[in-house]
Amino acid sequence: MQADTKKAARKAQREHWRRAAVAVISATRRDADISQEELAKRLGWSRAKLGSVESGRRKLAFEDFPMIALALGIDPEKLFSRVAKW
């Protein structure tokens, strides 16, 4: 029973971090007045892929986070700090 509770708690925590990262990325992009089209181009992605990531339909890969930060013109540590405060 306790293992199931811990597993559920870890799953909830992962979901929180995923939602926070997506929300911060999307807000940072809008605050910088960068369109999805432009950010996708900088990343070498389709606009549809970026839209799916921002909407939560597609999971954000851990290794994509620093690339996205740099494409937004922000230090990855600073972007992660925003996620941690979300």
Q: Where are the domains of the chain?
A: 2-85
Q: What residue type is assigned to position 42 of the chain?
A: R
Instruction: Write out the CATH class of domain 2-85.
Output: mainly alpha
Give the CB-side neighbour count of residue 56, counting CA atoms within 13 A: 10
The answer to whether the CB of 47 falls within 8 A of the CB of 40 is: yes
> Average pLDDT of 42-56?
96
Q: Using only the alpha carbons of the chain, give its radius of gyration.
A: 14
pTM for this one?
0.87
pLDDT at 1: 63
Q: Which residue, chain included where needed, has tokens 């799953």?
A: 11
Q: Which residue, chain included where needed, has tokens 């940072």?
A: 28
pLDDT at 3: 82
Kindly tell me if the per-residue pLDDT of 69 is higher than 90: yes
